Copies of this chain bind each other. A is one copy, B any other.
Amino acid sequence: MRMKRLMLATMVAVGLVGCTEEAPKTHAERPIAIAIHGGAGTITRENMSPEREVLFRQALTYATEAGYAVLEDGGSSVDAVQAAIQMMEESPLFNAGRGAVYTYEGRHELDASIMLGATGEAGAVAGVGNIRSPIAAARAVMEQSRHVMLSGSGAEEFARYVGLEQVSNTYFNTTERYEQLQQALERLRAREATGDQIAFEQSWEPAFNMGTVGAVALDSHGNLAAGTSTGGMTAKRWGRIGDAPVIGAGTWADNESCAVSATGHGEYFIRFHVAADICSRVKYQGKSIAEAGNEVIHNVLLPAGGTGGVIIVDNKGNISMPFNTEGMYRASKSNSTELSVGIYGPEQQ
């Protein structure tokens, strides 16, 4: 397939075909692009061992290349997004799939969503604990149900019904996340002991709220797609749903403007419908994705107290990845830019 396109491109270049009219652009000439994130937060060089940094850079590289290979092969943006996200779901490094954080009760409740820029079709699952790949479940909701958002045991029943791979909830266990839960519970219980229930409930901290994975892509057919998958917030309780499965908040794609996947303190991303608002500014105000993304992340979210970041790709293959935290695990590649992998903020690059 790749060989065929290369031959065609060569033939066009040397004038063997398409002499009478302008040759139609081949897939390889049209812009293709992918960007991914693996969570934003207090990620600094001081807190990161060189060995661990290598692991993150490798994982981000593999996920980006997996998605890019789909695009280069003429595949769809939604396939590229799913391929990249599934690689991160399988890695214990990221808070999504294996590696998901623990709830207050010591379980795992995962969320994911996916959206097509061509049609606005979308799917999402919230609070699922027995589906190996939540992003695959979100896609099944989009393609095989009339619904957009399914939750809890009902969503798990749907996943069984359509034949997705099931796992035990303990499949998502990792020692690191378990230790994070213990630290979170210690802090929460110290406040619970004061007897002030409202203060206790309000003691969840942004620090418990790190990590999500996501991908956005533009394919050679001109179609955008976005997807997001997460384990949510450490020690989350009461069936809390964050922004990752909320279309417009954590995920948005519209061929007329851009595709966005978000990571950060989910409550703020819902309240400011961050993903869709960035694309609205592009669509209605004619802003670039860099302008629109910076405005929302730095001028809207940050003053309100919302921390996090987004990855954005527009319908020309431009990529922007603004964040207002110390760092954000991120990577991108397009047919006009080399693979780029980043972890820290600009001052630490």
Closest residue of chain B to A105, judged by CB? B154
Contact of A284 among B127, B157, B158, B281 (CB under 8 A): B281
B280 contacts A149, C-beta separation under 8 Å: no
Q: Bits for A139-172, please: 1 = Cβ < 8 Å to B, else 0.
A: 0000011111111111101100100000000000
Contact of A147 among B145, B238, B277 (CB under 8 A): B238
The reply to whether the CB of A204 lies closer than 8 angstroms to some CB of chain B is: yes
A318 to B297, CA, bound (A): 31
Q: List the B side residues contacting A53 at CB < 8 Å.
A: none
The reply to whether the CB of A136 lies closer than 8 angstroms to some CB of chain B is: no
B148 contacts A271, C-beta separation under 8 Å: yes
A121 to B272, CA, bound (A): 9
Interface size on A, residues (CB 8 A): 50
A158 to B144, CA, bound (A): 33
26 of the cross-chain contacts (CB-CB < 8 Å) are A122-B270, A126-B239, A126-B241, A127-B152, A144-B198, A144-B201, A145-B238, A147-B240, A148-B267, A148-B270, A148-B271, A149-B270, A150-B238, A150-B239, A150-B241, A151-B151, A152-B152, A152-B239, A154-B238, A154-B239, A155-B238, A247-B270, A247-B273, A248-B276, A276-B276, A280-B284
Residues of A within 8 A of B (CB): 115, 120-122, 126-127, 144-155, 157-158, 161, 197-198, 201-202, 204, 237-242, 246-249, 252, 266-267, 270-273, 276-277, 280-281, 284-285, 304
